[in-house]
Amino acid sequence: MTEFSRRNFLRLLAASLGSLGSFYLAGCLDQSKLLTKSIPANKITSTPFLANPTALEDPSNLTPDGSEVDLPTSTPSPTLSFPDLAVARGGEPEEMVRSAVRALGGMERFVKAGDVVVVKPNICVAYHSYEYAATTNPWVVGAVVRMALEAGAKKVKVLDYPFGGSAEQAYQISGIQEKVNQAGGKMVVMSGIKFIETSIPSGKNLKTARIYDDVLRADVLINVPIAKNHELARLTLAMKNLMGVIYNRPAMHASLGQRLADLSTRVRSHLVIVDAVRMLMANGPTGGNLSDVRKADTIIASPNIVAADSYAATLFGIEPEKLTYIKKGVEMGLGSGKISEMKIEEINLG
Amino acid sequence: MAESPSKSSGRLSPRARLRLRKLSQFFFLGVFLALFLWSRREFYLNPAAGSEFKGKLVNLPLQLDPLVMTAQILASRTLLSAAALALITIGITLILGRVWCGWFCPIGTVLDWVPVRSWKKSRPMIPEGFRSIKYILLLVILIAAALTNLSLLIFDPLTIGYRTLTASVWPALDKGITALELSLLKIPFLIPAVSAFDSLIRPAIFPPHPAVYRFGLLYFGFFAAVVGLNALAPRFWCRYLCPLGGFLGALGKFSLVHCEISESCTLCGNCLPSCPTGAIQKGERIFCDPGECTMCLTCAVDCPTGQVTFPARSTTFLHQPYDLDRRKALISLGTAAVGVGLLESGWLSSGHSSKLIRPPGAENEVLLSTCIRCGECSTVCPTNAIQMAVLEGGPGGFWTPVVVPRIGYCDYSCRACGQVCPVDALPTLTLEEKRKQVIGKAEIDRDRCLPWAENTECIVCEEMCPIPDKAIELEIADIQTATGEWKVIQRPKVIRELCIGCGICENKCPAVGEAAIQITAHKHKGQSGGRKQRGTGKS
């Protein structure tokens, strides 16, 4: 064995750094490819009422001659036997979530054995407990986590990126951490370095965004917003909830509606469960007054984000297409905003 | 704390005792770092009541620091119960000498570790008279404290330690590691490993988003100067400058246990260069000044004939030329009185800036005479809202806490600063109290605010406002743009009665550079107005 001198150490160091460096350079050269490769581009939930199905086509799914690649792992195409949207009313939160998802074909339709599932509740601030309806109901999140695990998920991560207070604090104060831990899920504190610059090929206004790595890599994303008031978007629902997975949020506020629709084309919610157990009617999104909270005991579930948001808007007495992001979403062919055209299953538990 | 290495066991060989000392230094530096790390997360994560004890635990090093505690009591004119802990240090010093410096002080430990390798063959001779600087500095600090000024506590070694760690070393480490991670993320097969490593260190050791401290170089430069002076003489800082060293040295003169060189010494002089503080001197015979000796025990190891012992025996107090005398005391008194006079009368500053926003519950005048400048509030502030004032507070408020909303907002659910403050300069508030503390008021600059100036939709400040009834309202306006088309736009307005000045609006404002909504200092209840508050306005 050679002597371990400074010279030898430096040689070893130079050799290892050199080899790592060449990979680094390779990574730099091939950045665009790397970015799109890190994203499961084949995870598209087809939607039953696409006005313009091509709008969803990801360039990476196309072969050079333009024909679509057969995706072996794509989620099962929804058959007409399932409703577009299910609404459960008047029960305990977990009961409502279970019956609404069962009406859509059960969690097994969305989560396959061995999947890594990301659940994205709205935990936007660390200020108040769940009663104030600024954050998603903890029992709803807990139920979603449990159901995903029952359906065979390998791992269920729950995350959000609060704008007021730290994530750890918000997870604790909202009560979501406790319920998620009980259900066997994992609360993930989002780290600033893991937002990956990602292109949004179908985006009209938002062409790239720094999106959280865990979300991009997840097999299934379950979007669990709470229905609440927001002065610019008017309501914050599922599409607005996706802002929590991107880095530069203040920049979204200019032409918010279009950018939210753009973001929804890249960050696909495979299942949307809108928590309207308690709705925040005013002073959102932060809340703090119990008088602004209305107990509605309603859960809306749908594989289509625009449909879910449209139905939720009607709970506030708002015409869905009056919300710019729903309007833009419909324009981009993400779904329909017309409640009358949807196949809805209503379940009354109360 | 420092008594744990028991020296009563006289059977230990000098070498074993030396190892014990190094172990103690290592251990206490570890404790210091561990408490620092723990405090960063403990307080904001547990905003509920009942963490007062944890505050005491985190601040143990500072509470044991007799210089900080004495000065604080003199200036604040209140006796803190926690200050009683400093009596332990005083007691230990009276028995064992300056063991604090040699066995415990984290700065001393770092100075011991920094290799003294002068670029010149011979080190410059430092006049022995320099040793009196630490005594003069000590007296100036204490006299100024009696005149309610604590500005010079920035020279206390523990406050240096906290500030350096908080505002330079930790953020720099964080930045370095983040840069490394980001580079490694470019290498595809390393992504899972980097990702796993990142979840290990964040948020446990580093914050999920890089910490921001202004003037990091200033804090590091201060510390680097303390360390760099080692090039002139080993433990230069401890020998000549450290006011806490002066405090303990003055007590150490009377210590029971001290270094003694027996009559049968061969005068070989081996011990002279081995003493890191140069406490051993050669006159007619070789002797050690207990006021300068840090009980490091190096000399006992280096003495070839075993003449150095540490008996517990009271001896006569030997006055050295560099020790305090009447002349130096008078110089200190004069310096302190003139200095405080200049600061207080405003000759050196033109009043406070409207950006002098103090953390919740603190009143400027009270803060100045109670804050020990340790920067612990800044350490624990989860959003980095609390920075150390450099210009905002004038020279008298140097390195006191100030809220800088553009860097961080005062989190509506956090009361960490009040819990951690070792001297109650920032009051411990309940969450309900904290949510009502007005630290400033928001003002909108309509020439820069997007909806006002450019007719662009933006409601970020309103959205962020944590006040349940929203201290920012949106006025709906029908406006005609330059191209002649009509547009309905929401424009923010501050409801000053509701605003508490938390600064989340300023922090999140999407305007480039300075925010279009800014917090200005606000007159607190019971705070005198007048000159110092000039320009801050009332509402």
pLDDT of residue B469: 94
How far is the alpha carbon of A207 from chain B, nearest alpha carbon, in Å? Answer: 19
**Looking at beta carbons, which pairs linking B190-198 to residues 24 or more positions away fall under 8 Å?**
B190/A23, B191/A38, B195/A194, B195/A213, B198/A191, B198/A193, B198/A194
pLDDT of residue B32: 95
Which of A169, A171, A252, A280 has the most B C-beta neighbours within 10 Å, making it the best mutation to test the interface with B?
A169
Place of tokens 């409703």: A83
Strand A344-348 with A220-224, pairing: unpaired
Q: Is the pLDDT of residue A201 over 60?
A: yes
CB atoms A189 and B460 under 8 Å: no
Q: Are B462 and B444 in contact (CB under 8 A)?
A: no
Q: Is the pLDDT of residue A60 over 50?
A: no
How far is the alpha carbon of A284 from chain B, nearest alpha carbon, in Å? Answer: 7
Beta bridge partners of A85: A344
Q: Are B517 and B461 in contact (CB under 8 A)?
A: yes
Cβ contacts of B487 on chain A, cutoff 8 Å: none
Cβ contacts of A251 on chain B, cutoff 8 Å: 510
Average pLDDT over residues A76-89: 78
How far is the alpha carbon of A80 from chain B, nearest alpha carbon, in Å? Answer: 40
CA-nearest of A203, A201, A280, A289 to A237 is: A280
Amino acid at A121: P
CB atoms B382 and A283 under 8 Å: no
Cβ-proximal residues to A255 (8 Å cutoff; 6+ apart), any chain: A205, B457
Average pLDDT over residues B398-402: 94
How far is the alpha carbon of B188 from chain A, nearest alpha carbon, in Å? Answer: 7
Average pLDDT over residues B261-280: 88
pLDDT of residue A54: 40
pLDDT of residue A61: 41
- Burial class of residue A304 in the structure, from the number of CB atoms within 10 Å of its CB (0-12 exposed, 13-18 middle, 19+ buried): buried
Q: What are phi and psi of B442, to 5 degrees?
A: -85, 145
Q: Are B486 and B480 in contact (CB under 8 A)?
A: yes
Return the sign of the alpha-carbon dihedral for residues B249, B253, B255, B258: positive
Neighbours of A125 (CB within 10 A): 27
Query: How far is it, in rounded angstroms, from Cα A307 to Cα A303?
Result: 8
- Max mean pLDDT range (B22-31, B71-80, B303-312): B22-31
Which of A38, A253, A287 minimises the CB distance to B468? A287
Neighbours of B92 (CB within 10 A): 22
Cβ contacts of B467 on chain A, cutoff 8 Å: 288
Query: How far is it, in rounded angstroms, from Cα A140 to Cα A176?
Result: 9
> Which residue is closest to B475 within chain A, CA to CA?
A231
CB atoms B198 and A38 under 8 Å: no
Query: How far is it, in rounded angstroms, from Cα B244 to Cα B141?
Result: 10
Q: What confidence tens digit (pLDDT) does each residue in B6-43 have? A: 444 456 888 999 999 999 999 999 999 999 999 988 88
Q: What confidence tens digit (pLDDT) does each residue in B339-365 have? A: 888 887 766 665 567 899 999 999 888
Q: What confidence tens digit (pLDDT) does each residue in B77-88 have? A: 988 888 889 999
Copy the structure tokens of residue B91.
């007691």
Q: Are B198 and A194 in contact (CB under 8 A)?
A: yes
Q: What are phi and psi of A280, to 5 degrees?
A: -95, 115
Q: Is the pLDDT of residue B390 over 50?
A: yes
Average pLDDT over residues A167-195: 94
Question: pTM of the full predicted structure?
Answer: 0.87
Select the more confidently predicted residue: A314 or B264.
A314
Residue ranges of E strands in B296-369: 308-309
pLDDT of residue B350: 55
> Which residue is closest to A280 within chain B, CA to CA?
B468
Q: Is the pLDDT of residue B100 over 60?
A: yes
Place of tokens 């206004």: A205
ipTM for this model: 0.85
Beta bridge partners of A236: A228
Q: How many CB pairs under 8 A join A and B?
A: 131
CB atoms A285 and B463 under 8 Å: yes
pLDDT of residue A67: 42
Q: What are phi and psi of A298, to 5 degrees?
A: -130, 140
Give the lowest-confidence range in A210-214, B183-187, B287-291, B509-513. B183-187
pLDDT of residue A46: 39
Beta bridge partners of B473: B493
Q: Is the pLDDT of residue A27 over 90?
A: no
pLDDT of residue B110: 94
Cα separations in angstroms, B137 against B226, B330, B335: 15, 12, 10
Copy the structure tokens of residue A38.
């890190």
Strand B308-309 with A220-224, pairing: unpaired
Query: How far is it, in rounded angstroms, from Cα B510 to Cα A240?
Result: 18
Q: Is the pLDDT of residue B539 over 50?
A: no
CB atoms B463 and A231 under 8 Å: yes
Q: Is the pLDDT of residue B297 over 80?
A: yes
